[in-house]
Amino acid sequence: MSSGVHHPLLSVAPAALRPTQLTVGKAEVAAKRAEWETLGRKKRKQLLQAHCFPGVLGPKQHIYIVDHHHLGLALLEEGVKKVAVLIQRDFSWLSPAVFWRTMEFNRWAHPYDWRGRRSDYEAFPASLAALADDPYRTLAARVRGAGGCAKDATPYAEFLWADFYRTRIKLGGGRITDKALQQALALAHTHEAGYLPGWSGAIA
């Protein structure tokens, strides 16, 4: 049985990282790739040295990241060979079912699909490359980037915002138009959104 002692920093290939959510905003991933492509070799090295992915050791010694999935997928798609992962806990001795229940209890797993529907734990993909696109997750990030709400430390905060918009705004073909963003920004400042993390108040 594990003692739960923290592990040292690991150097891991992005392709070996396993996700703890089912979706990302693919447009966000593309934006992170575009940022990466503007950096020179020195800046890229500095970014990789400065950034640690928080991770958990799971069954069969697989490494699961519990945050920064968009950056992880962007670096994978850019062909980065290694990233730094700081292991938060060793749950490698747990059975898969107990592992996922424990991860969800600790708010380290988000088993909801691109429709916002709960999924079985078996639905978690084995690779960041297999994450599905949720355009509402991108919409939530853009609202925050435009000042519609504050950044909040609550785990999966932007997924809550995504679910809020999912029932209120139609995204034709998953595209986020200027009109959709303006509509989302207006909704962010209504009392309807008052339960969401980072809500910055209603505009009279």
Q: How far is CA 112 from CA 47, 74, 102, 175, in A?
A: 30, 21, 16, 21
CB 188 within 8 A of CB 144: no
**pLDDT tens digits, one per residue of 122-159:** 999 999 999 999 999 999 999 999 999 999 888 899 99
Q: CA–CA separation, 181 vs 80, rounded Å? A: 32
Which segments in the chain show pLDDT lower than 50? 1-4
- Specify the 3-state DSSP secondary structure of 145: helix
pTM: 0.91
CB 95 within 8 A of CB 59: yes
Residue with tokens 């968009």: 70
What pLDDT, on a 0 to 100 scale, did the predictor assign at position 7?
Answer: 61
What pLDDT, on a 0 to 100 scale, did the predictor assign at position 1?
Answer: 44
Domains detected in the chain: 9-131 (3.90.1530.10), 135-193 (1.10.8.10)
What pLDDT, on a 0 to 100 scale, did the predictor assign at position 141?
Answer: 94
What pLDDT, on a 0 to 100 scale, did the predictor assign at position 154?
Answer: 87
What pLDDT, on a 0 to 100 scale, did the predictor assign at position 69?
Answer: 97
Dihedral angle computed from the Cα positions of residues 142, 143, 144 and 148, in that order, rounded to the nearest 10 degrees: 160
